Amino acid sequence: MRSLLAIARKELSVYLTTPWAWVVFTGMAFISSFFFIASLLTFKQVQDQVRQIPGGWAQVPPDYQLFRNLTDGVVLNLFGVILVIVLFAAPFLSMRLLAEERRQKTFELLMTTPTRTIDIVLGKYLGAVGIVVATLSVTLVFPLILSILGSSESGTALEWSTVWLGYFALVLWGSTCMAIGLFVSSLTESQMVAAVITFAVSILWMLIRAIAPNAEEPVRSILSYLSFDMQLQNLLKGVLDLRPIIFFSSVIAFFLLLTHRSIEARRWT
Amino acid sequence: MAMIEVENLTKKYRDRVAIDALSFTIDEGEIVGFLGPNGAGKSTTMKILTGFMPATAGKARVAGFDIFEKPLEAKRKIGYLPETPPLYPELTVRGYLKFVAELKGVPRKQVKSEIERVAAVTGVTSELDRLTGTLSKGYRQRVGIAQALLGEPALLILDEPTEGLDPRQRREVLDLVKSLAGTHTVVLSTHILAEVKAICRKVLIVHRGKIVANDSMEALTKGKETGLEDTFIQLTSE
């Protein structure tokens, strides 16, 4: 347990000294603030238009109903964007996890101290999840701005329970990407190769739903069930659903197991 | 008591045999020179003894623990310096030693004093707050040795510890190793026979994966000044 935490702590502190961390933080802040402003403007436009309609919100088509409040109209919109940024950023965050240990020969150190392989895997993974949480927490500033400056017809400007559930979904999603990245990183010494493969796997898995309509049943249902995109939908809308949580936990556990097996197998070559 | 017992240890990389049925024992408190030409199987043997790599066949016991069956117990007894000192360039020397101490399970309260102890012994006290990535080769090597000494392991396995050091540092490292005699068992691999002559009382020579000599220093030098070189060259000629 102690070595697990030591590895996680080392991973985080080493990570914060690499330029990648700051590039990703900056990228996250820059891109998400761009979309934040864009969706704020849309939100304002719709609100202004609705005020000029005599019947008010009752006359507005259902597609526009989500612009009635800041939570649905701005924050949840933004989460959709952050989700995509995480998809692009995660491979760069996970690529060095094990690949770098191999390249610098520090892997020998981990394997010759009395540390179990499972502690190495979980320690690395815990550090990786910490990195994802750090990256996502950059975006907390947007809901904060809204809750301080925004207002609503009823109660608080933001529904914080929905916002937190959205963050939970994002962390879950980021953690899934990192689990895939950890496994890929255990296969190669090259960080670039690790990043590219991780990206390819996660984007294909995300978009697997796109080929579903052309497939026969039951393949179609299976494909859309397996797609990350499909699984994330409800959680990001603020609907607490147990199924995607179990789905992503299983995917994470599966990749951690693969990582464990891959580390053990590499010792034999 | 035997610190290392090796029986018929064999390692194959696909078809290539790296070490072929090695058998030897090393007693507690001995300083053993582990010699052989490049590619003879020295590093492979060390990697197996430290539990980094499993063997294809055979047995290895460290301090009575089978390295394959009870790896954690065996690894607790070993301090290992690999060929390349395993450093994280982003960490300071202190941070690095703290990390290794935690991995080795040094009791929390002793971590600080243990870091100061190994830093003093290896002469890196003045560099404790520098990043390991900015250290010179000599200092990297010393930090590597400091790391191996953490937690006072009974057995030290050092793979070419004097590689890349200047003559003064070389002497310091050798004096350090010599001072560990009696309390620690040391297995030292090197190419420099003069170093072995200066500090080891027992010598193990491997060639093409087989042991060609396992004897005391006196028996191998045959009383001559160049005796060890002669024996080494003769045994590893074919």
CB A114 to CB B104 under 8 A? yes
pLDDT, tens digit (0-9, with 9 covering 90-100), for B19-35: 888 899 998 888 999 98
Is residue A234 predicted with pLDDT exceeding 90?
Answer: no
Radius of gyration of chain A (CA): 21
pTM given for the model: 0.89
d(CA B182, CA B56): 33
pLDDT at A269: 65
Shortest Cα distance from A79 to chain B (angstroms)?
A: 33
Residue whose entry in the numeric block shows the structure tokens 């290992």: B80
pLDDT at B137: 85
- Residues of chain A with Cβ-Cβ distance to B102 below 8 Å are 2-3, 5-6
Q: Provide the token pair at A252.
A: 């994470």
pLDDT at A155: 67
B70 reaches A (C-beta below 8 A):
no
Report the range of poorest mean pLDDT among A40-44, A167-171, B97-101, B162-166: B162-166
Shortest Cα distance from A239 to chain B (angstroms)?
A: 42
Percent of chain B residues topping a pLDDT of 70:
99
CB A114 to CB B99 under 8 A? no
Is residue B223 predicted with pLDDT exceeding 90?
Answer: no
Where residue B74 falls among pLDDT bands split at 50, 70, 90? very high
pLDDT, tens digit (0-9, with 9 covering 90-100), for B32-66: 999 888 888 888 899 999 998 889 899 999 998 99
Is residue A57 predicted with pLDDT exceeding 70?
Answer: yes
Is residue A33 predicted with pLDDT exceeding 90?
Answer: yes
Shortest Cα distance from B235 to chain A (angstroms)?
A: 30
pLDDT at B220: 75
pLDDT at B39: 81
- Residues of chain A with Cβ-Cβ distance to B99 below 8 Å are 6, 10
Q: Provide the token pair at A206.
A: 């995300």
Which of the pair, A224 or B96, is modelled with greater confidence? B96
B111 reaches A (C-beta below 8 A):
no
pLDDT at B228: 77
d(CA A102, CA A117): 15
- Residues of chain B with Cβ-Cβ distance to A104 below 8 Å are 86-89
Percent of chain A residues topping a pLDDT of 70:
98
B76 reaches A (C-beta below 8 A):
yes
Where residue A153 falls among pLDDT bands split at 50, 70, 90? low
Q: Give the mutation candidate from A2, A109, A117, A268 for the B interface (greatest B CB count, under 10 A).
A: A109
Q: At what angle do helices B111-122 and B93-103 cross, to 10 degrees?
A: 120
Q: Bin B64: left if φ > 0, else alpha if -120 < ψ < 50, else beta.
A: left
